[in-house]
Amino acid sequence: MSSLGPAFLGLLENRPQHGYDLKHVYDEHFATQRPLAYGQVYATLSRLLKNGLVEVTATETGGGPERKRYAVTDAGVTDVEQWLGRPESPAPYLQSALYTKVVLALLTGRPAEGILDVQRAEHLQQMRELTRRKADGDLGDQLICDHALFHLEADLRWLELTAARLDELSGEVRGR
């Protein structure tokens, strides 16, 4: 489930806002790679409105386009509270592809160690970039980068363990 909707609800809980301001507050706190597209902002607000999680409290017409001010409803507050309390499902994401590569290499008589070495170098390169970004960033950037760094480190631990067990794995794969 996307976290954009609940994030909007939480930000609107602080104070009612226009879509334009909401996008900027969101970008400031959460957009690490690229800012939100306006289309995405208004599509999300329209969905929240349809589901009764936000309401329009004012519509301003000036020289430009019509501007709506959004506020969170009681149902919206309940929704964000439920979202915050619900655990995210832990998703193993890399191992399946890499595991297949390693087993396939062993099955076809190719050196699997090289696959692990290349992957390790790639992971460490990304970790270096995140570490540099962390050094230049504010606390929010640091927390986001740390999250990614710990995930990459978990992959690398798996790689090291697999590298240490290659002989054992090779025996099993070939014995099947």
Partner 1 sequence: MTRPTPRDRPRPEDTDGPLLTAYGLNKAFGLTQALSTASLSLGRGEIVALMGPSGSGKSTFLHCLAGVVRPDAGRIDYGGVDLTHAPDPRLSALRRTEFGFLFQFGQLVPELPCVENVALPLRLNGQRRRPAEREATRMLERLDVGDVARKRPGACSGGQGQRVAVARALITRPRVVFADEPTGALDSLNGEKVLRLLTDTARESGASVVLVTHEPRVAAYADREVIVRDGRTLDIGGGR
Footprint on this chain of partner 1 (rule: CB under 8 A): 117-118, 120-121, 123-125, 127-128, 130-131, 135, 149-150, 152-153, 156-157, 160, 164
Q: How far is the CB of 149 from partner 1 (least distance, A)?
A: 6
By beta-carbon proximity to partner 1, the closer residue of 82 and 125 is 125
Beta carbon nearer to partner 1, 65 or 150: 150
Q: Work out how close the CB of 168 gets to partner 1 at its nearest, in angstroms, rounded to a whole number.
A: 15
How far apart CA 173 and CA 143 sit, in angstroms, is 40
60 or 153: CB nearest partner 1: 153
**Closer by beta carbon to partner 1, 86 or else 128:** 128
Scan for tokens 């149902």, then name that residue.
75
